[in-house]
Amino acid sequence: DAKTTQPNSMESNEEEPVHLPCNHSTISGTDYIHWYRQLPSQGPEYVIHGLTSNVNNRMASLAIAEDRKSSTLILHRATLRDAAVYYCILMPYSGTYKYIFGTGTRLKVLA
Amino acid sequence: DGGITQSPKYLFRKEGQNVTLSCEQNLNHDAMYWYRQDPGQGLRLIYYSQIVNDFQKGDIAEGYSVSREKKESFPLTVTSAQKNPTAFYLCASSSPGSGYTFGSGTRLTVV
């Protein structure tokens, strides 16, 4: 199963943009890049996903490298409510269901 | 609204006792999963099921058992063989192209 690598923790000031990196050098052509975030004492929630092109939604943007070996989740204006653990995982459209969640990146937002 | 319901939210287990955690989904997802999360750690896969009446062991299945008699339900039993069951348990479901949907979790404590 393809694995991702993320920094253990990051800090950001409130109202500033945050760029959360993810490396996935063993990604295959059919793997989608998914991002989830987990608030304290809650289950993870979906943030965004993409295949090759950059993606935007109301929560965040996803920038995918041209070779697809890395991606960056962008929070345009961090708020205190964005303090969470962010997970980057690879999911094929169909097939294996044994996805790997690493320890993610713990984002701290400073007021 | 479609989603995943986990119950109870908090559960206390005595030494040597089996307990069952409930997970129900109304998303019509084929696959369901159970994860364990210890404080400050990532998610570790216990069991997953891709279809009714079939399930596979994850990375830490020892001391746990599951059943999948209905598409909507995937209960997890924590048996007395699980020596350190105190943790946060998360149930999730997925369907091709849909990504994960997680429940809100059950916090199990041994007393």
Residues 28-87 of A with CB under 8 A from B: 34, 36, 41-46, 49, 87
* B63 secondary structure, DSSP code: T
Q: Which strands sit side by side in the sheet containing B64-66, from one edge to the other?
A: B4-7, B19-25, B76-78, B64-66
Mutate to test the interface with A, among B94, B100, B107, B109 (most CBs of A within 10 A): B100
Distances (CA, A) of B90 to A80, B14, B56, B81: 24, 21, 17, 20
- Helix (H) / strand (E) containing A78: none
- Cα torsion angle, A83, A108, A72, B30, sign: negative
Which chain B residues are within 8 Å of A36, Cβ to Cβ? 100, 102
Partner-chain contact B90 A94, CB within 8 Å: no
| Exposure string over A1-24, b if 16+ CB within 10 A, otherwise e | ebebebeeebebeeeeebebebbb
pLDDT at A1 over 60: no
**pLDDT average, residue stretch A25-41:** 91
Read off the pLDDT of residues B32-88 as tens digits, 9 standing for 90 and up: 999 999 988 889 999 999 999 999 999 999 999 999 999 999 999 999 888 899 999
Average pLDDT, chain A: 91
Q: What is the pLDDT of residue A96?
A: 62
Q: What is the pLDDT of residue B106?
A: 97
